[in-house]
Structure 1
């Protein structure tokens, strides 16, 4: 992943509503969510949500697919993993390191 793409992704996530939208799509998994379901779940107005979805799509963090009359948004897990990989690529200067488990049962 190029530095420019990392900056774009982090900038897109550096806004509370967009972070909530992205996390909601991560939780939804491959099935994704419609804008209506996200708007209701996150208590965000449709126009506001549309703006945030556009920003996350532009950053490559989510994808959009039409299913009949509905749009389905999904987290771009490959992009998310590439971002995490970039951020941790040189962790502890190549030495084994342990990050404290902050209560994660899947880590």
Structure 2
């Protein structure tokens, strides 16, 4: 990933509602969440959330799929992976042993 692609993603996440929505979608996993349910859980009006989801979508951080009358949103995990790799590309000057603790912390504690 290049800076020109990373900057819009970071800008999209630099707003509390968008960050919370994105984190909730990451939590929810590959099944995604309907926009209305996400709005309810965040306590945000649906039209406001829609604008925020559009920003996240343009930044490549979320994908959407129409399901009947609702739109299902998912976090784009590949884009998250690319952002993390972008940030860590020069980690510790290439000395993998020095980066190991930071990289270990990135692994989820899933059962």
**94, 99, 102: which is aligned to 1:99?**
102
Provide the residue aligned with 1:27 in structure 2: 27
Q: Distance in 1 between matches of 2:85 and 2:103?
A: 18
Higher helix share: 2
**1:11 Cα shift?**
0.4
Query: What per-residue deviation string (whole Å, max 9, x for no partner) do you get for residues 35-90 of structure 1?
Result: 11101111111111011000000000000101122210000000110000100011
Q: TM-score, normalised by structure 1?
A: 0.91
Q: Which runs of 4+ in 1 moved over 6 A?
A: none
The verdict on how the C-alpha distance between 1:99 and 1:62 changes in structure 2, with shifts beyond 3 A counting, is same
Q: Which runs of 5+ in 1 are unaligned?
A: none
Aligned length: 106
Q: TM-score, normalised by structure 2?
A: 0.88
Q: Which runs of 5+ in 2 are unaligned?
A: none
Q: Cα RMSD between the aligned structures? A: 1.9
